[in-house]
Structure 1
């Protein structure tokens, strides 16, 4: 996409995101109370940040990149199911799959299926638009979109962490003309300050579309081998999270710890 339309996409994303946040602060957002939560520090926060990012990212993509809009919207809906449902019944990939083996369908299981479905639709649609459908690379791309959405959620455990990773990975993709990356980076920049202050949280509703947007933008610039390599990294980190605490690793690594704490009030 040319710089002009790309800048317009980012501008609309930022404006819509800011509008949703202001509506919540002014008490004009219906149902805002349902999005109130307690963060890791025991403080009251709102998950409306995630809703703002999801809406802000999706709306400009409806024209700029419809396949990306579908993938982002699907990831957001999957997050809403988990955020507003009984997400405490099972934790982690192992917990949800274990519940499924016992015949229990958790909201997390529904979310996983929704992420895979929206990732497949988005990647297939995106590949076919450029005549790139070639079987397994599209399936790998779909898994990359879904896996990226899930991984972003796993990173959303401290203020600003998931957004920082999303921005670092998304900005180079935006500079390569990917509308999905431009939109989510613009929205992410708007919600980052209140997230760092611990006033708001992405929740699944925001973290999933953050990862999905970056993941789909990555599939649009990567070839088959690149998609496979990226999926291997995402899958490896996801499996590692089942055994190792990301927060503990980051806290024990000085460089990562400083980057993770950057921007938060001391």
Structure 2
């Protein structure tokens, strides 16, 4: 049986409202976020106030008032040997006569600047939950799109990588998957091949390519209706990214000129692919 020794604490009406609002904005389960903040308060308490010698510390946020309650669980014993984690039966019964040996007493902990502690914990918990939710969304949405064509907008670039926005998710075009001398200017829209979902700097990212032969295949499928329907087949692709590509095609229908279908009238189809 666990009972509380009351801890005086001023209500913080805005705490629970702020958490609920953030949960809604970020698309995170409300209860999951509140629980994460409670766990964060315990972690922050141990770190800032040296609560490592206390075996069992817990925190609760009242779901209605936003009141924050931090307490330690004390085991009811006959003789106290560890005052940080135990309480005598006599002292426990001074709070409640129903206590028995082996019960747990929830003893409130006076914590200075508890509001700041809660704010720090909330910030950390929210950041982690947002990362987790983002990773799940990206993984669910893009793992099944490996080797598919996507359109993205260039966000920025550094000495090695180009960062691309794809459906509100950040993707990475690494140096080895970039075309030499190709410009990747901010705001430019381009087509990419999805290689898969990776983790970069503890964040999920979609790996892209501009050099893969499969990118050429997908572009031909997009622009050439006869390839999309299977009337014209791509037999092989040879490519020097940024310089030239050779695509061998043949037709299943003797009435369709495979090469002509790919080139298009006045070279219009192949020009669309090159652009």
Sort the TM-score into its range (normalised by shorter chain).
Answer: under 0.3
Bigger relative contact order, structure 1 or 2 (CA pairs below 8 A, ≥6 apart):
1
Larger gyration radius, structure 1 or structure 2: 2
Point out the structure with the larger helix share: 1
Q: Could you state the TM-score of these two structures normalised by the residue count of structure 1?
A: 0.21
Query: Higher strand proportion, which one?
Result: 2
